[in-house]
Amino acid sequence: MTTSAELGLPAITVAPGGVATTTLTVRNDLDIVEAYTFEAVGDCAGWTTVEPARISLFPGTSETVTVRLAPPRSSSTRAGEFPLGIRVLPVERPDLVAVPEATVTVTPFHELRAALAPRRRRGWLRGRYRASVRNLGNAPTAVTFAPGQAGEDLRFAVAPEKLRLEPGESGEVRVQARTRKLIWFGKQATWPFEVTVGPEERAEGKDDKDAKGGGKPEAEAAVVQKPVLEGEFVQLPIFPRWLLALLALLIALLLAWFALVRPAVRSSAKQAAEQAVAQQSATPAAPSGVPAGDNPSAPSAGNTPGGQTKPGAGKPSTGPGSQGGPGPGGLAVPGTGQQSSATIDVQTENGAATTGSYQVPHGKVFDITDLVVANFQGDQGVVTITAGNKTITTIALETFRNQDYHWVTPIQVPEDQAVTANVTCEAPGTPASGKQAPTCHELLNISGTLSDIRPGN
């Protein structure tokens, strides 16, 4: 005396999200009326039900119930083969329990959820993105990423190239979009692109082959929806519009300066140079051997080549020797002295030395009271001034532009002797014209009293 139970199918194939059924036949071989309840056991118990859940049988009778399998479409429902047992439990004789078994094959399915972040990038040459994916299927999947663009303006790189994800597992890859050339000027360009996410073809075929249980579920598992992620790269120009506008403004201002301001500056400098040349040409040096007083065009002791007058210049000093003095040929004649001046013009080649002089006429004696030396070009070198056999001074040219000396007691130069200016030119300077001079050019103006000499005994 026992209870017998038998499943209608020894092997059942079911797809996640679908329903599969089989039958369970129960026979009462006892001599009493028995009631039976049903309980599914094994990995499939969570989504297996028996309808009806309780039956009663007279002795020697049997009844068939329905076993319903409905696995959810979830990554928790793993693909593969699993044992299924239905426990048939007699209420009056629980020790006579029966457990018929069958094999359930759950077919695999592929489902991916993916996202691209950020969706838009801005840059000069490239944009970097993150593509994340989650395996919502019930089988391990090798996921690949295929970026693409309608044109050929972008090149792509994916790292790593693929991911292998278990059911319910997530992963992330780096996607780089790079343009083929820079935009130097003009407007920005927008390049839309797509990234197709899907299982690797070989992995997909292998998973479908491993799913046993008939051709139809296998064909359904092969249909995979591949997510398509949309992205955008906004390429910026190297030089934006506002910078081009600023450069255009600066160029316009520069052209305006050359057209308006610079000619006025050059005209002012040219006018000043012409004025200096005119003043210089108006004061020629007295020829050697001619008294300065006979040259009405010679400048006075207080006038420099630039037309500037120093305080005290041009006024002869007075003293005991101002009316003449003893000379080699005798004494100066009282009452014969008169104010006189002379200009020595010295022009010297670069790297050379030149001496200019003024000789006291025969029968005269020259009492020097004022001396002005002009370096109006700003030359570099040395000037040495002598009177007769006496050296008055030696000056470095670069230390002055105009230098004057005045004496209360005159410096006396006898007849037939000279006042000299020796110039050594090291580097010509730059006059007011703004163009460097080819030679050094100095002017020496001497003033004093020119007197007659009384013949000696």
Q: Which of 55, 80, 106 is the last residue of a domain?
A: 106
Q: Give the structural domain span for 14.
A: 3-106
How many domains, the chain? 3
> In this structure, which amino acid lies at residue 63?
E
Peptide bond into 160 cis (omega under 30): yes
298 and 157 within one domain: no
Strand 34-42 to strand 54-57: parallel, antiparallel, or no bridges (unpaired)? antiparallel
CATH code where residue 319 lies:
2.60.120
In a domain, 291, yes or no: yes
Q: Which of 106, 129, 162 is the last residue of a domain?
A: 106
In a domain, 146, yes or no: yes
169 and 129 within one domain: yes
CATH code where residue 191 lies:
2.60.40.2310
Tell how far CA 41 is from the center of its chain. 71
In a domain, 416, yes or no: yes
384 and 287 within one domain: yes
- With a threshold of 0.85, does the pTM exceed it? no
What lies within 8 Å, CB to CB, of 118 at 6+ separation is 129
300 and 441 within one domain: yes
Helix pair angle (215-222, 201-210), 10° resolution? 160
| Per-residue CA distances from 179 to 155, 213, 240 (Å) | 6, 50, 18
In a domain, 264, yes or no: no
96 and 36 within one domain: yes
Q: 3-state DSSP call for residue 20?
A: strand
Q: Which uninterrupted H or E stretch holds 245?
A: helix 241-256
Q: Which of 235, 264, 292 is the last residue of a domain?
A: 235
In a domain, 404, yes or no: yes
414 and 337 within one domain: yes
341 and 315 within one domain: yes
pLDDT at res. 305: 39
In a domain, 271, yes or no: no
pLDDT at res. 334: 61
d(CA 279, CA 292): 19
10-residue stretch averages of pLDDT, the chain, 457 residues long? 86 95 93 93 93 93 95 93 94 92 94 92 92 93 91 89 92 93 86 90 48 39 73 88 78 84 58 64 47 41 38 38 42 73 94 94 92 92 93 92 91 93 93 87 94 73
300 and 437 within one domain: yes
In a domain, 325, yes or no: yes
145 and 87 within one domain: no
CATH code where residue 91 lies:
2.60.40.10
- What are 354's two structure tokens? 């030149």
Q: Which uninterrupted H or E stretch holds 248?
A: helix 241-256
CB atoms within 10 A of CB 189: 13
d(CA 379, CA 388): 26
- What are 385's two structure tokens? 């001034």
pLDDT at res. 335: 61
134 and 194 within one domain: yes
Comparing C-alpha atoms, which of 188, 190, 185, 189 is closest to residue 239? Answer: 185
181 and 34 within one domain: no
In a domain, 265, yes or no: no
pLDDT at res. 267: 58
116 and 99 within one domain: no
d(CA 321, CA 393): 21
Peptide bond into 263 cis (omega under 30): no
